[in-house]
Structure 1
Amino acid sequence: MSVPAKLHEPNLARRHRIGQAFEWLCCGSTWFGIVVLGVLLLSVGWKAVTWPTEKAKPENSPATAEVRQTSAPLSQKFLTSYDSRKPREAGILAALWGSLWLIVLVALFSVPIGVGSAVYLEEYSNEGRLKRLIQVNLSNLAGVPSIVYGILGMTAFVKMFGLFHKEEGKSLVINLLFTTVDVPLPFDRTLISGALTLTLLVLPTVIVASQEALRAVPSSIRTASYALGATQWQTIRHQVVPAALPGIMTGVILALSRAMGEAAPLMLIGALTYVAYTPGEITNISDIFKNPQGLLDAPFDKFTALPLQIYNWINHPRAEYAHLAAAGIVVLLSILLLMNTAAILIRHRFQKQTRW
């Protein structure tokens, strides 16, 4: 004879209370993080649009007139001016173009190598001890502190393991169709050294993200392609990679966002903090067409970047520079937000087109 189930369990009410308490704890933690982040962003935003309060001065003094005529730290002048020893005249143009150059070069280096490595590991290589060793090392390298990559960049790119002596002034002259490019050896503290260092930093992330995207493609797509007579290369090119493209592009953009916010590797390789010029003397898009030689010389120029410029301003003793740093933070966050938004939109658009 079976025993009827109890309609009331003594511990049921207590378990419900514990579950509800846990739910409230999670909700409170979420809102606490949102409020703290919102307060910090509002504080930074307010500093970015106001100058510090100054002591009262005579109404007709030149200093008072200068303060009245000065715009907020975050303005069009701020985006189109170089850094200056006068805080109310300083801008972020050199750092902005330095960061844009870094991102472009890092993308040129990391995307072909990272995606190509992921395709080989997922589509061509056989399962074995070597592949497992590579996978473990990739996972470990993705978590290595950025300062370690800065040390590696200083040794491999800035000094090139001591193979060349800077005092000899050696350079590699590359003859193109209509011009020549002088490549310094070693690369020294130039834009190309920073880009290669950041490439090492984001490459494991790009490879792992691309592998996950390729792994998510159903095997039935590959099987159907082979059944129709396609080769492995044709299957990868026309079926697998297009299907994995949303995940690949999302991983690449997020990796580039991380590279753009890094300061430690660039500080270690000796990127400048006070620069009154842009790489290749290019200050707008039209200069690329007016001065193509500058486009070729830019990777071998000295440079600065947004995180370094912000760090330099924050450490300055004058109060005005803290407001300039806040304006720089707003610019950097805006660019990172645009990049992350682009990653979301690209993923959403391609996912709507993919049917499997």
Structure 2
Amino acid sequence: MSKNPCNARLLTGAAGGLAIGLLAGHAALAQVPASTNASFEASLKQFCPAKNLEFLKPDVLAKTTDAFVRALPSDQRKRVSDLARPGAAACAGSADESCRTAALLGSIRYMDLSAPLAQKFCELSISCKDWFDCGEDRAPAAQQEASVAPPPQPAPPEPARPQQQAVAQPPASPQPRSEPPAATVPPPPAYYPPPVARAEPPAEAEPAPAPGRSAEVEAPAPVPLPPPRTAARARPELPRPDPSVADLETAARQPPARLEDDAAERAPGARGAVAGFYRALGRGDGIEAARYLIPEKRGRGPFSAAAMSRFYGGLRSPLRLEGVREIGPGTLRARYTFAARDGSVCRGDAVISVREGSSGPLIESIRALSGC
């Protein structure tokens, strides 16, 4: 699959392949003048190569980029806005801010402001709770506040005083410390009541006086035992399944839907690759799912085979692919459902960007529109 100039600009305009493959993004970047200045992606790798921002949500990317533009001098801010206006107008009907942000990043590159923007993103603290569930982490700020508090402790000047009184302190300190352990010793004997022989007499005393009638007791005993056990096991199982999860589990066993998924997986080209990827996730097979990813993505974070097997193999209800359709060249949209371990149901909707590899189409990026 050949890459046109619009695809190249989009790859350099967004971090980690975010918003790649969106047709609106192609139209937006086509309105921005071409430039040989450093792209945002290249600047990001230069200033903070160890930071992984490819899973940053579109709203965080848009929020940080807009804040950077607002902080620019008035003349630069006006110039960036004017350059991005035609591209932003082509983003009408976009599902999120990815298209408009791509046009804005193209204008920032044209103004040679990618490096300052990348430094701004390097200051962000990002944490990922789950696949496609990433955002700004406010925990480090609390840790910094806690670390600032301890320095103003006047502990160092005080040790000089106890040196003179060190002789009087050691004898007084061991005396009160040795007394409490003696008080803590008596409580344990109070726990002896549990092993009292109360349980022994009722169990052994009743069968002992009737040795001759042991055969009569053995016959009725096995009859009443099984019914109460089965009734006790059947009662707790009824309230366990949630209605939403039960519906999802029932839908996952419907044969027509499975036939549709099988047909999609056997379909040639990008549609078959996307269907095969999600079918592998539905089986909890991270190794098979990694085969459908580009080599640069394999083994990275949530795209590693171990991470995918651990997450999708531990779902309460396995992932079920609802459908795959093409929405543009190299861009597809997939719908799926699954139930997490806590019982929450995800009705997923994702945009997948695919590029041609040596062995066939491979998945380049995935953007979850539903957040799961």
Q: What is the TM-score when the length of structure 2 is the normalising length?
A: 0.21
Q: Larger relative CO (CA 8 A, sep 6+): 1 or 2?
A: 1
More strand by share: 2
More helix by share: 1
